[in-house]
Amino acid sequence: MLEMYIFETNTLLEQLDEILLRTEDANVFSQEDINEIFRIMHTIKGSSAMMGFENLQHLAHKGEDMFFVIREKPEIAKDAHFVYELIFEVSDLYKAEIEYIQNSGDDDYTPTDFSETFKKLEDATERLKAMESGAAPAESAPAESAPAAKQEASAAPSGSNVEGSMTVRVFFEDGCKMENLRAFLLLTKIKEVAEVISCTPPDVESNA
């Protein structure tokens, strides 16, 4: 499962860097770019949490919080060079930590302290909120949890009456381990091409 986590995370980081490099010269994000970066941060946050990498979970969460504010009012990110600098920093820290995890044994890995970067991201988020002229204070990013299942993931019956909808059931072989992470990554891929109306269980972290 560690190999799957590393592969998926590196793939997402490549997508993130591509967006940043493509938009840096223009110094402006399209709504699609903002939504994609938010999705990347959210996905990395969830998979890191399930792998027990709390420092990486919180790093992605802080980045997600910042882009939640930008998503609500995209124009505040225009000419905000500090946003690019911080997200590049987050990406670089992630790559270095992933390589560290990959090269360390289970007994040798000691999570890196990202508290300095956490503070930078928190300050940047507050700065962006202050740039919202005449707007109410932005809410923190909601504690969304991508749906996943331990043994079975399926669209709930309530969605079966929606025109054009379909029900998907996923079964994992006994002993495959890390069913939550497998389901989370699978549903993340499904969300890229379709809308998930509902899922059982609805909470990926607690299976509730």
SS (H, E, C) 120-136: HHHHHHHHHHHCCCCCC
121 touches 63 (CB < 8 A): yes
pTM of the model: 0.64
Tell me what the mean pLDDT of segment 156-180 comes to. Answer: 60
Q: What is the assigned CATH class of domain 2-130?
A: mainly alpha
124 touches 84 (CB < 8 A): no
| Averaged pLDDT score across all residues of the chain | 78
Does the pLDDT value for residue 140 go beyond 50? no
Domain boundaries, the chain: 2-130, 145-208
CA distance 42 to 35: 10
Label residue 12 by pLDDT band (50, 70, 90).
very high
CA distance 170 to 16: 29
pLDDT of residue 2: 87
**Residue recorded with tokens 């790559």:** 95
Label residue 124 by pLDDT band (50, 70, 90).
very high
pLDDT of residue 117: 96
What confidence tens digit (pLDDT) does each residue in 57-97 have? 999 999 999 999 999 888 888 767 889 999 999 999 999 99
pLDDT of residue 203: 63
What confidence tens digit (pLDDT) does each residue in 14-27 have? 999 999 998 887 77
